[in-house]
Structure 1
Amino acid sequence: MQHRKVVHLNMNLWSQYAVIALMVTVSLLYTLGKLAPQFTTRALAAASASLVQPQRAGVMQALGRRLRPAQATGSCGDGCGTCGSCGTSRPASERAEAQPLEFRPRQKLGDAVTPQ
Structure 2
Amino acid sequence: MSTFGVIQAVIIGALVLFSALYAMRKLLPGMSTRWLAALSASLNKPWRKPWLRALGRRLQPAQASGSCGDGCGTCGSCGPTPPASARPDAQPLEFRSRQR
The TM-score normalised by the length of structure 1 is: 0.58
Higher relative contact order (CA 8 A, sep 6+): 2
Find the counterpart in structure 2 of residue 56 from structure 1: 48
Structure 2: gaps of 5 or more residues: 85-100
The equivalent of 2:78 in structure 1 is 89
Q: Cα RMSD between the aligned structures?
A: 2.9
Question: How far, CA to CA, are the matches of 1:10 and 1:32 in structure 2?
Answer: 33
Match of 2:29 in 1: 37
Question: Aligned partners of 1:90, 1:55: CA distance in 2, in Å?
Answer: 44
Q: Which of residues 12, 21, 24 is equivalent to 2:13?
A: 21
Aligned partners of 2:30, 2:83: CA distance in 1, in Å? 25
TM-score by length of 2: 0.67
Structure number with greater Rg is 1
Q: Percent identity?
A: 42
Length, aligned pairs only: 82
Secondary structure at the counterpart of residue 2 of structure 2: helix
